[in-house]
């Protein structure tokens, strides 16, 4: 397949994977925690590289999942010790990210990772990194990784859909009927970490936050039903990815940056034009309500 | 040791040190208010959102004039702060989602503009990417003087309005009742917060600037319950972090300043959470053990 098509496919997979997970983050008010994890994943990747001395995706996934979960636990611990949540998030992620950056600069000669890569990803190089598995034609590594993470996420979500739903909307009820709330929380955090790593190569550690949050936030403004929100969010993720790619080639700039930008633009459009919860929609409803109530 | 001695004597290093010291002081003080008002993560978003402003400033003028870049950063930073508050108040989305959304999409725009700037003939050498992680050692003396002057000005304004800020932080209703212009003061505070973030990004970088607002303030919170003491302690912690981080990063060219400032601040935080006199984790353990022993001894005496 051609160069362009692979980039679009990989970008869309990032959009779907992140978009679906993002819905739960928004509903559970964990957006900032996801932001923190996406920053600290950098440390996991650097450590995995320094320990294993290879750029193998599996090691990176493991390293990132460990550091991601550790971030979530440390934030929880500090919070438990009486530090307000935003401060504990701020302290932990800046510290881990700082250590990651220091390690990259100190071991710059031996680490095949530069800071720009960590920030913006290198989706343009995805089609050059092909592997062959069995009888299949050569496929880009990033594609295989993202697809397997997406399938894993979907399986986990189908298995725990009811639990995820109840713990998101009513954690007290969930605890009362015996659902392991903390287990579901860390399961979700683990899914966020591995999705971040899988997307890391393509869009970078910070812009992945845009792909996690913006599609879900847009979907949230359009529907009240969780299953619809998940589908809409995946759709917005893909839309942001594809439009981002074309904008980037049109103005000749960073693909991942313009994907993040387009996810913001899509959100702005939904924020203004959503029929029920948008600015215009609310105004129209208001007017209709007023005209109905003044009508004889 | 000798190397450090020589470095300290260099005029430029002295200026950079004074600059980061004042910056740490100002951000520690404003960060205390931001922390108590639960607005510290807005500072994070503002810092990320400064990146597009810096790039636009550069694209419009075509040269690396710090004052223009900082004006650009202030404009997009304030815009981001406004968008966050608007989204959180006008829709069902919560503030944390709004912060995350604005932070990442503005940063995305910043990255797009940054790649455009690097394609410009003059842009390649502009060193705008040093804004991402901060490079205090690479600042020229006029930049440092601007930063130090701005930090001193921010400090002065904060001291003048200290009483008012204290009131709107703890009891906004009461402040309103007294006839204080609460929304104007909120806007003034937000402007000061954006300003301190903006002057800090050259030294600390857009990604880690939030740490300089949050970490010294939360560490100081462990040592006292009084706002005025907290503000002073937090300012001192910020200043120490700024100075030590700068010293480490000036040992070698190419080492970013921001990460070292952040690591220093976090070490101070860990010391505080473990050993602070009234609330430190280890202090509490020791106290509890001493009370237990005292009780046991007393019981023994009674028996």
* Domains parsed from chain A with CATH numbers: 3-212 (1.10.3470.10)
B246: which residues sit within 8 A by CB, 6+ positions away? Answer: B16, B17, B20, B136, B137, B203, B257, B260, B261
Q: Does A40 touch chain B (CB under 8 A)?
A: no
DSSP notation for A239-286: HHHHHHHHHHHHHT--HHHHHHHHHHHHHHHHHHH-TTTSHHHHHHHH
A218 touches chain B (CB under 8 A): no
Contacts of B116 in chain A (CB under 8 A): 251-253
Q: How far apart are CA A158 and CA B161, in angstroms?
A: 55
Name every chain A residue with its beta carbon within 8 A of the beta carbon of B132: 115, 119
Report all structural domains of chain B as residue ranges with CATH numbers, in order of start. 2-302 (1.10.3470.10)
Question: Are B111 and A119 within 8 A, CB to CB?
Answer: yes
From B259, B254, B247, select the one nearest B19 (Cα to Cα): B247
Q: Which residues of A touch B100 (CB under 8 A)?
A: 31-32, 34-35, 209, 212-213
Is the CB of A32 inside 8 Å of chain B's CB atoms? yes
Which residue of chain A comes nearest to B97, CA vs CA? Answer: A31
Asked if B263's CB is within 8 angstroms of A102's CB, the reply is yes
Whether residues B35 and A87 touch (CB distance < 8 A) is answered with yes
Show residues of chain B in contact with A14, CB under 8 Å.
Answer: none
Encoding tokens for residue A225? 């039903």
Helix (H, G, I), strand (E, B) or coil at A74: helix
3-state secondary structure of B254: coil
Distance CA A117, CA B111 (A): 12
Q: Is the Cβ of B38 closer than 8 Å to some Cβ of chain A?
A: yes
Cβ B162 vs Cβ B226: under 8 Å: no
Residue-level pLDDT, tens digit, chain B, 303 residues: 556 666 666 667 788 888 889 999 999 999 999 999 888 888 899 999 999 999 999 888 877 788 888 899 999 999 999 999 999 988 889 888 999 999 999 999 998 998 888 888 775 556 777 787 777 766 777 888 888 889 999 999 999 999 999 999 888 888 888 888 888 999 999 999 999 998 888 888 888 888 999 999 999 999 998 999 999 999 999 999 999 988 888 777 667 888 999 999 999 999 999 988 888 888 889 999 999 999 998 888 766
Partners of A130 in the beta sheet? A140
Q: Which tokens hold the place of A14?
A: 């990032």
In b/e form, how buried is each residue of B49-82, taking b as 16+ CB within 10 angstroms?
bbbbbbbbbbeeeeebebebbbebbbbbbbbbbe
ipTM of the assembly?
A: 0.88
Contact in structure between A243 and A262 (CB atoms under 8 Å): yes
Q: H-helix or E-strand containing A140?
A: strand A139-140
Query: Can you list the alpha helix ranges (DSSP code H) found in B161-225?
Result: 162-170, 172-177, 182-204, 209-221
**Chain B residues close to A98, C-beta within 8 Å:** 208, 211, 258-260, 262-263, 266
Q: Does A233 touch chain B (CB under 8 A)?
A: no
A60 interfacial to chain B (CB closer than 8 Å)? no
First and final C-alpha spacing in chain B: 62
Question: What does the longest C-alpha to C-alpha distance in chain A come to?
Answer: 80
Question: What is the three-class DSSP state of A139?
Answer: strand
A90 contacts B41? CB cut-off 8 A: yes
């Amino acid at each position: 397949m051609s160069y362009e098509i692979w980039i679009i496919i990989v970008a869309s997979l990032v959009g779907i994977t992140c978009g679906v997970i993002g819905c739960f983050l928004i509903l559970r008010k964990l957006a900032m925690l996801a932001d923190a994890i996406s920053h600290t994943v950098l440390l996991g990747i650097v450590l995995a590289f320094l320990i294993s001395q290879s750029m193998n995706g599996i090691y990176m996934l493991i390293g990132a999942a460990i550091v991601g979960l550790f971030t979530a636990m440390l934030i929880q611990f500090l919070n438990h010790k009486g530090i307000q949540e935003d401060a504990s998030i701020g302290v932990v992620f800046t510290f881990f990210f700082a250590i990651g950056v220091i390690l990259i600069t100190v071991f710059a000669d031996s680490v095949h990772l530069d800071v720009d890569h960590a920030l913006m990803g290198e989706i343009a190089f995805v089609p050059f990194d092909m592997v062959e598995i069995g009888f299949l034609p050569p496929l880009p590594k990033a594609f295989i990784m993202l697809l397997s993470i997406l399938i894993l996420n979907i399986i986990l979500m189908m298995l725990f859909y009811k639990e995820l739903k109840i713990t998101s909307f009513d954690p007290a009820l969930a605890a009362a009927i015996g659902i392991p709330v903390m287990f579901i929380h860390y399961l979700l955090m683990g899914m966020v970490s591995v999705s971040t790593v899988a997307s890391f190569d393509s869009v970078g550690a910070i812009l992945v936050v845009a792909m996690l949050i913006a599609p879900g936030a847009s979907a949230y403004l359009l529907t009240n039903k969780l299953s619809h929100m998940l589908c809409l969010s995946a759709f917005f993720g893909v839309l942001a990815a594809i439009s981002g790619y074309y904008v980037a080639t049109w103005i000749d700039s960073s693909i991942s940056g313009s994907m993040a930008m387009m996810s913001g633009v899509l959100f702005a459009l939904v924020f203004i034009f959503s029929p029920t919860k948008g600015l215009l929609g609310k105004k129209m409803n208001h007017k209709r309500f007023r005209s109905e109530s003044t009508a004889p | 040791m000798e190397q450090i001695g020589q470095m300290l004597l260099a005029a430029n290093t002295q200026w950079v040190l004074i600059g980061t010291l004042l910056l740490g002081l100002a951000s520690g003080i404003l960060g205390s208010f931001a922390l108590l008002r639960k607005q510290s993560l807005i500072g994070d978003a503002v810092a990320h959102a400064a990146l597009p402003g810096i790039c636009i400033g550069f694209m419009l003028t075509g040269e690396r004039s710090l004052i223009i870049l900082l004006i650009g950063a202030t404009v997009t930073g304030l815009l981001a702060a406004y968008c966050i508050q608007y989204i959180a108040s006008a829709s069902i989305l919560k503030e944390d989602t709004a912060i995350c959304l604005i932070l990442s999409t503005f940063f995305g725009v910043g990255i797009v503009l940054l790649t455009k700037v690097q394609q410009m003939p003059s842009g390649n050498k502009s060193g705008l990417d040093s804004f991402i992680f901060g490079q205090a050692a690479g600042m020229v003396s006029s930049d440092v003087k601007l930063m130090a002057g701005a930090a001193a000005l921010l400090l002065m304004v904060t001291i003048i309005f200290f009483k008012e800020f204290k009131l709107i932080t703890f009891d906004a209703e009461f402040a309103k009742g007294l006839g204080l212009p609460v929304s104007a003061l909120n806007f003034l505070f937000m402007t000061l917060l954006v300003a301190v973030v903006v002057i800090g990004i050259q030294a600390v970088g857009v990604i880690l600037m939030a740490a300089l607002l949050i970490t010294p303030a939360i560490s100081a919170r462990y040592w006292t319950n009084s706002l005025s003491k907290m503000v002073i302690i937090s300012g001192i912690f910020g200043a120490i972090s700024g100075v030590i981080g700068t010293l480490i990063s000036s040992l070698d060219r190419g080492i970013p300043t921001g990460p070292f400032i952040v690591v220093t601040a976090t070490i101070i935080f860990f010391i505080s959470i473990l050993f602070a006199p009234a609330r430190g984790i280890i202090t509490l353990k020791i106290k509890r053990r001493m009370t237990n022993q005292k009780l046991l001894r007393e019981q023994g005496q009674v028996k």
